[in-house]
Every structure is written in C-alpha cells, then in structure tokens.
Amino acid sequence: MQKVPENDRLEEPSTLPSMKRMAGNTAWNMVGMCAPMVVALFSIPLLIRGLGDDRFGLLALVWMLVGYFSIFDLGLGRALTKMTAECLGRKEQEQIPRLFWTSMTLMTGLGLIGAVLLWFSAPWLALRVLNVPEHLQPETLTAFRVVSFGLPVVVAITGLIGVLEAYQRFKLINLVRIPTGMFTFLGPLAVLPFSTSLSAVVGVLIAGRIAEWLIYFLACLRCVPRLGGLIRFEAARIKGLLCFGGWMTVSMIATPLMIHIDRFLIGAIISVSAVAYYVTPAAIVVKLLIFPRAWVSVLFPAFAANFFVDRLAVAKMFGQGVKFLLAASFPVILAVVAFAPEGLLLWLGPEFSTHSTPVMRWLAAGILVYSLSFLPCALLQGAGRPDITAKVHLAELVAYLVLASVMIHFFGIVGAAMAWFVRGAVDALAMFGLARRFAPESWSQVSRVFRALAAGLVVIIFAVLAPELWMRVLVWLLGAGGFALVSWSYLFTSKEQREVLRVLSAVKARAL
C-alpha cells in the first residue's frame, strides 16, 4: 500500500470528529479563554499602581478597542471557517487556497480602512470625546495612532484562526492563544520598569499582536501547505463571503448589545448606583457562557463541513451537542443559584448579598436556557443561513429593549434580570423552532432535552425557595445527582454512554 504523504494527512482531517476529540477540543478552548483571565486577576492591580488611575483607564479603553476590532472583518473570519469546512466536507481541498487568499485580501483591506478612520479620528477621541487630563493628551493621541497600525493585523488574525478551526486544530489555536492572551496583561507589566508612557505600553501590545499574526500565519501554512503554492484573488467569491459575513456581523453586533444594554437602561431609568448591584453578579454569571462558546466553536465547523454531504450525521451531532451541553451546565448553574447569598456575602458584604442575590439567580437561570440556543444558531449558520439568525436577533433586540424598560420601571434591577431570562428563553425557543427543519431527525432527542430542562428549572425553584443553607446544600446534592442520573439513563443512548466512559477513562489515565 502506498504511504500517504505527511502533508496530505495534514490537509485531510476527519470532518466527523469523535466525542473524545470534541471533548478535548472544548477543553483546550476553555483553557485558552480562562488562562488570560487568571493572569488578569494578578496583573491588573499591579498595572493600576504602576500606571495610575488615569493611564490605566485609558489602557482599558485600548483593550476594549482592540477586542472590538474583530467587528471590522464583517464576519469574514466566520465565513472563512464555514466555507473552508464545506470544501473539506466535499473533498474540494484545491479550492481552499483561492478562498483563503481572497478572504485575507478582503480582511486586510477592511482593516486598512479601519486603520485610516482611527488614525484621523484619534485627535477627536483623545482631545474632545474622552475627558483626558491635559498632561496625558499627547501620549493618548500617540497611543491611539499606534493602535491604528495594529487594526489590519487584528482583523486578519480572525481569518487565520477561522482556517485552523475548519481543520479542527483547536489545540494549536489555544497553544498560541494562551501565551498571547497572557501577554495582553504581562506585556504592559514588562514595560513599567522602563516607562509609564501609555504610547510605549500600547506599542508593546501591538507588537504582540503582530507576533500573534505571524505565528498563526505560519501555522496555517503548516496545516495547509497548498496555501504557499497558489496565491490567487478571485473576485467571484467576494459576493458569497460578504453576504455570509454581513449577516454574521448583524448577529455579532446585536447579541452583545442584548447582553450588556440592560446596564445602561438601569442607569437611565433608576440610578447609576443601582447599576453596581446589577453589574457585579452579571459580570460573574456571563462568564458561565465560556463552556457553551467553547463547545459550539468546536461543533460549528463540523456542522458546516457535513451539512450538505451527510445531514444524518449533522442531526446526530446536533442532538448529542444539546444533550451534553445541558448535562454539563446544569450542576454549575444550580450551584450558583443555591449558594448565591453566601457567595455574595463573603465576597462583597451583606448589602450586595441582599440586593444582588435575586438578580444573580434570575440571570443564572437565564444563562442555562439561553446557552442551549447556541447549538441551533450554529446549525443554522453552518447550513449557510446566517440571515435567519440575524433577523431573529434584530427582532429580539427591539422587543427586549421594550420589555427590559418596562420590567425595570416596575421591578427595578430584579425586573432587568427577569427580562434577561425571558429573552434567553424566547431566543432558545425561536432558534430551536427554526432549526427543526434543518435537522428533523434530531427532534426526538431535543424533545427529551426540553423535558429534562423543565425538570431542572423546577429544581432551581426549590433551591430559591429553600431558606436555610443546609436545605440548599441538600437540594444541590439531590438535584445535581438526580439530574446526572436522568441525563445518563434518559438522555444518553447506550452508545453515547460508552463514549462518555471512554472520554472519562482517557482523562483519568492522563491525570494519573
């Protein structure tokens, strides 16, 4: 038998990843998301002391700008993941270099346009919009203009990651993401012994982004050797890329707005002081979305690669994905609901515990329901219909603004959390309803998930109503244990049970 060349093996990953591989990829994604957050906890106090409040506040704005720069790709990074995965599913690898270079050219051009806009708007931002102390205005202006140089690179990085995601190279992605994410906080710390200038700190950050781009680019060449042999721009692909990416951009803008707009509504309708009691539990609870996001980013390229070649396999993955997401999320959500009063009391004191406990509980229950919608949303987008999800998100945004305003007016910050729960439930129902015709074979599994979810919400109500800590401990133990038993015997098939046991055995073997 002829030996398959190493390069060919690199370019032909399995488009139907095993449960073990999906679990491993999800774990890598979670580590990649969490590691920089851990470094931030220790680095931020040192940066505040070293830079001072004003400079650190400006650095935080720079972090925000760099984080939101990916919007300038107009969804092309996600489009590149989807279309590359489709090429892999259809065994049309020869199309990938043309798709890659067309996308990267478009993204670099969009990044350059954004860079020019930021360069010329920097004086307006630094000298007029922001209340920057006069002695800091020159270095703030320079810092913003340094940031503009990094915009094309930041936009291009999303495309490079998109290609690696299509090839299921999540371990590689996160081996780069972890140190570069840490550098976001450690880089400025390394500058402090030499300079406290904001422009110097930002310059180091942008240098780190350029290094990140180079590493990802070399990784793409290693993963897809054909990219170096055929560099071609195809204008015929522009329409498809921009159409898919444009609808993705609508969702990328509307979804964060629905997650964060409630804080502004509370400040406008009640008071700024009330925002603190809401934002603090909200900031914690939103972090619970790390697992759903990590899980869905693994499933999305698999959906896209196989939807047009093996819909039964996609329906199976979809059903499994929803079941595993609910089974993994429920014990954590139940713990947050059950022990919110004690956690907030130990962390922030009795006043925050009194005001923020009901908020945290409503938001946590909302996260449980809302996170399930990530799966049908990824399925619809993997099937090439991001227009459906975008239209749903736009309609939800308008309705949510009205609902949240009314609920805040009558029920205060608890009303805001209740509105968030309702919005999450509506989003899940809408997405599952729309996704049903794209994967009807999975509906028996999804129906079981909804029944299990209803039972889980009943357990959450018991946790809320239990007045004493020992009662809530008992509810959590019985609820989490009972839900695990229900998931094992009612949700999972015998084959899925064996797959779970294999994954757990592999984890145990590595731990030992």
| Rounded mean pLDDT for each run of 10 residues along the chain, 512 residues in total | 40 61 83 85 80 76 69 80 86 84 89 87 76 77 84 89 90 91 87 84 88 92 81 77 84 81 79 74 84 88 86 87 90 92 84 86 93 92 89 92 91 90 93 90 88 92 90 91 88 81 71 56
Q: Are residues 273 and 344 in the same domain?
A: yes
Q: Which amino acid is at 252?
A: M
- 170 part of a folded domain: yes
Half-sphere exposure of 226 (CA within 13 A, CB side): 17
Q: Are residues 218 and 307 in the same domain?
A: no
- 1 part of a folded domain: no
pLDDT of residue 461: 93
Q: Are residues 454 and 427 in the same domain?
A: yes
Residues 6+ apart with CB under 8 A from 439: 311, 314, 315, 318, 319, 379
> CA 63 → CA 147, 185, 387, distances in Å?
10, 10, 30
- 238 part of a folded domain: no
pTM for the predicted model, two decimal places: 0.84
Give the helix ranges, DSSP H, for 125-237. 137-166, 170-191, 198-223
Cβ pair 19, 320 in contact under 8 A: yes
Block residue for tokens 């450690």: 186
Q: Are residues 428 and 466 in the same domain?
A: yes
Domain final residue pick, 177, 208, 233: 233
- 241 part of a folded domain: no
Q: Are residues 385 and 509 in the same domain?
A: yes
Structural domain boundaries enclosing 302: 246-512
Task: Output the CA torsion sign for 129, 131, 137, 141.
Answer: negative
What token pair was written down for 455?
């039972």
Number of helices followed by number of strands (H, E) in the chain: 18, 0
3-state secondary structure of 115: helix
pLDDT of residue 9: 42
pLDDT of residue 288: 87
- 204 part of a folded domain: yes
- 367 part of a folded domain: yes
Block residue for tokens 């984890």: 507
- What is the domain count for the chain? 2
Radius of gyration of the chain (CA): 24
197 phi and psi, to 5 degrees? -70, 135
Domain final residue pick, 201, 233, 265: 233
Block residue for tokens 């015997």: 489
Q: Are residues 141 and 200 in the same domain?
A: yes
- 239 part of a folded domain: no
- 437 part of a folded domain: yes
Q: Say how many C-beta atoms besides its own lie within 10 A of residue 501's C-beta.
A: 10
Q: Are residues 278 and 406 in the same domain?
A: yes
Q: Are residues 56 and 84 in the same domain?
A: yes
The H or E element that residue 26 is part of is: helix 19-51
pLDDT of residue 336: 92
Q: Are residues 217 and 278 in the same domain?
A: no
Residues 6+ apart with CB under 8 A from 46: 189, 192
Region class of 412: left (phi > 0), else alpha (psi between -120 and 50), else beta: left
Domain final residue pick, 233, 255, 283: 233
Block residue for tokens 């998930």: 449
Q: Are residues 416 and 487 in the same domain?
A: yes
Q: Are residues 15 and 89 in the same domain?
A: yes
Q: Are residues 418 and 293 in the same domain?
A: yes
